[in-house]
Structure 1
Amino acid sequence: MNAPLPSVPMTVSEFLAWSERQPETARYELVDGKVVAMSPERNRHNLVKLAIAIALREAVQRSGVACTVFTDGAGIAIDERTVREPDATVQCGVDVDLDAMLVDSPLIVVEVVSPSSERDDVQSKFVDYFTVPSIRHYLIAFSEKRIVVHHRRNDQGTIDSRILRDGDIVLDPPGMTVAVDALLGPAPVGKEIH
């Protein structure tokens, strides 16, 4: 049985120290100072996350950009009281601290929508991620609907959004392209993969 979650609000540094003492199989986010346990995920969600990490890694390799792809488990500090753990993150042009629990300068973040996370992924995480100055792209994968929503912060700071069912997504910066289908994982039973 898991121990009860802390009831006292925490800062990011307090949360990271507390997290280091938790079992590696337990996953948490810090939202406005409150520790929130992350729900177990379905196999579909896990396979889509894997497909996304592979697709992003292959896009980095094809483009030759100096970027690192992280899977879930690497956190992003939104502010002093919030740490989010996206399903995938890309950081470019920065040396990776292999002992850190946070990604220093995320450029691309990706969330895979599940029935329990859709509202949070579409609303509050959208706001949270774009408060981080280095984030230029937020991709939301709706694997069962077979779409990817691409939110992009342009050079003027405006957020442009597109809903994509096929084709390629240009992620510039850093200067790479990834196919929409590669970000969606296996098709739901009875639906074809394009």
Structure 2
Amino acid sequence: MNAPLPSVPMTVPEFLAWSERQPETDRYELVDGKVVAMSPERNRHNLVKLEVAIALREAVRRAGVPCTVFTDGASVAIDERTVREPDAAVQCGGDVDLDSMLIEAPCIVVEVVSPSSERDDVQTKFIDYFVVPTIRHYLIVFSEKRTVIHHRRNDQGTIDTRIVKDGDIVLDPPGITVAVASLLGPAPAAKEIH
């Protein structure tokens, strides 16, 4: 990220046009009109994101539902001044615009927690994601704690929360089931006691 970030507040269309001109290796979100550079990630984080996307893709295939699984890089517009880039997302039904940078109607979003993102993932993004009416599930993966927090918007619009360490998570809609273990990635190395 060599160039300075824009200092003028942006709308989502302005941000998308600006971000298309940036190097593909640089990643940004738009938060309340301000461009925010995303931190570099550790290998563990990257591998867990991969496992999450694979687990969701396999769950979609098993269930035979018409859904598309996205990895990071595809973004979700929260409102006219905020764009988030989840670590993984699922959109069901309808065609996917292959030339768009946005996931038009996500029903599942996933964030993998890293030390620098935990507070934002647990608090701010929780609020942001549930502003989007199509989002029914928000999974927060704590790979080192071997835990997933599953926030689910029920049919009445209320958010139910479960903290899950094993077994399966049912994501309905769209009607898929995913094993918690398949979302967690590599186990942390055992710490030596001296």
Q: Do Structure 1 and Structure 2 share a fold, with TM-score over 0.5? A: yes
Deviations 1:51-98 (A, max 9, x none): 000000000000000000000000000000000000000000021000
Runs (4+) of structure 1 moved beyond 4 Å? none
One-letter amino acid of the structure 1 residue matched with residue 119 of structure 2: R
The equivalent of 2:101 in structure 1 is 101
Query: Which residue does 1:144 correspond to in 2?
Result: 144
Q: Which residue of 1 aligns with 2:18?
A: 18
Q: What SS class does the counterpart of residue 123 from structure 1 fall into?
A: helix
Aligned to 1:74: 74
Output the amino acid matched with 1:115: P
Q: Hey, what's the Cα distance between the residues in 1 that align with 2:61 and 2:87?
A: 20
TM-score for both structures, normalised by structure 1: 0.97
Shift of 1:190: 1.8
Task: Tell me the residue number matched to 1:171.
Answer: 171
Contact kept, 8 Å, 1:109 with 1:135, in 2: the verdict is yes
Aligned length: 191
Matched, 1:123 2:129: no
On the 8 A contact 1:94/1:105 being kept in 2, the answer is: no
Per the alignment, residue 112 of structure 2 pairs with 112
Deviation of 1:145 after TM superposition, in Å, equals: 0.2
Matched, 1:58 2:74: no
Deviation by residue 1:129-184 (Cα, 9 ceiling, x = unmatched): 00000000000000000000000000000000000000000000000100000000
Q: CA deviation at 1:30?
A: 0.1
Cα separation, 2, equivalents of 1:48 and 1:94: 28
Q: Separation in 1 of the partners of 2:10 and 2:94?
A: 28
TM-score (norm 2): 0.97
- Measured in 1, the distance between the counterparts of 2:116 and 2:41 equals 10
RMSD: 0.8
- CA–CA distance in 1 between the matches of 2:67 and 2:14? 29
Unaligned runs of 5+ in 1: none
Question: Which residue is equivalent to 1:37?
Answer: 37
Equivalents in 2 of 1:80, 1:31: separation in Å? 10
Does structure 2 conserve the Cα–Cα contact (< 8 Å) formed by 1:143 and 1:187?
A: yes
Q: Structure 2: which 5+ residue stretches go unaligned?
A: none
